[in-house]
Chains A and B, each alone.
Chain A
Amino acid sequence: MVQFVLNGETRDVQAEADTPLLWVIREELGLTGTKFGCGMALCGACTVHLDGSPIRSCVTAVGDVEGASITTIEGVSAEGASKAAQAVQAAWESLDVVQCGYCQSGQIMSAVALLEENPKPSDEDIDAAMSGNVCRCATYVRIRAAIHQAAKTMEG
Chain B
Amino acid sequence: MLHRITEAARPSRRQFLKTGAVAGAGLVIGLHLPLRAAKSGASSGAAAATAGGDFAPNAFVRIAVDDSVTILAKHIEFGQGSHTGLATILAEELDAAWEQVRAEAAPANAEIYNNLHWGPSQGTGGSSSIANSYEQLRQAGAMARALLVEAAAKTWGVPAAEITVEKGQVRHAASGKSSGFGALVETAAGLPTPAEVKLKDPKDFTLIGSRVPRLDSPDKTRGKAMFTIDITLPGMLTAVVARPPLFGAKVKSVNAEAAKAVKGVTDVVEIPRGVAVVAEGFWAANKGREALEIAWDESGAETRGSDEIMAQYKELAKKPGQVARQDGDPAAGLAGAAKVLEATYEYPFLAHAPMEPLDCVVELKPDSCEVWTGSQLQTGDFATAVAISGLKPEQVQVHTLLAGGSFGRRATPDSDMVAEAVSIAKAIGGKAPVKVIWTREDDIQGGRYRPMYYHTIRAGLDADNKLVGWEHRIVGQSILKGTPFEEFLVKNGIDQTSVEGANNLPYAIPNVLIDLHTTDVEVPVLWWRAVGSTHTAYTVEAFLDEVAEAAGKDPVEFRLEMLKDHPRHAAVLKLAAEKAGWGKTLPEGKGIGIAVHESFNSFVAEAAEVTVDGDGGIKVDKVVCAVDCGRPVNPDVIKAQMEGGIGYGLGAILHDEITLEGGRVAQSNFHDYIPLRIEEMPEVEVHIVDSGEAPTGVGEPGTPPVGPAVANAVYNATGRRIRSLPFSRHDLTGT
Chain A residues at the B interface, C-beta cutoff of 8 Å: 15-16, 19-20, 23, 26-28, 30-40, 42-43, 45, 72-74, 77, 89, 92-93, 96-105, 108, 126-127, 130-131, 133-144
Contact = CB atoms under 8 A, between A and B. Distances in A.
Contact of B681 (A20, A98, A108, A140): A140
Interface in B640-691: 640, 643-648, 650-651, 669-671, 675-679, 681, 683-684
Interface in B318-372: 353-357
A144 B405 contact: no
A142 B636 CA distance: 12
A73 B440 contact: no
A48 to B, nearest CB: 11
A104 B221 contact: yes
A36 B404 CA distance: 11
A36 B229 contact: yes
A100 B679 contact: no
Contacts of B679: 127, 131
A42 B221 contact: no
A137 B79 contact: yes
Given A42-B669, A100-B356, A134-B670, 19 more contacts: A16-B283, A20-B283, A33-B223, A35-B355, A36-B282, A37-B440, A38-B669, A96-B636, A101-B79, A101-B220, A101-B404, A103-B355, A131-B678, A136-B407, A137-B647, A138-B648, A138-B681, A141-B647, A141-B681
B609 to A, nearest CB: 15
Interface of B: 78-81, 213-214, 216-227, 229-230, 232, 238, 263, 281-283, 353-357, 402-405, 407, 437, 439-440, 636, 640, 643-648, 650-651, 669-671, 675-679, 681, 683-684
Contact of B404 (A28, A35, A97): A35
Contacts of A20: 283
B653 to A, nearest CB: 13
A33 B224 contact: yes
A142 B229 CA distance: 26
Contacts of A130: 678
A108 B221 contact: yes
Contacts of A30: 232
Given A38-B669, A98-B214, A137 B648 contact: yes
Contacts of A96: 213-214, 217, 636, 640
Contacts of B407: 136
Given A37-B440, A101-B404, A136-B648, A142 B643 contact: yes
B678 A102 contact: no
A14 B347 CA distance: 49
Contact of A34 (B213, B219, B223): B223
A99 B80 CA distance: 6
A98 to B, nearest CB: 4
Given A40-B440, A136-B648, A137-B648, A19 B283 contact: yes
Given A33-B222, A101-B216, A104-B220, A138 B651 contact: yes
B213 A27 contact: no
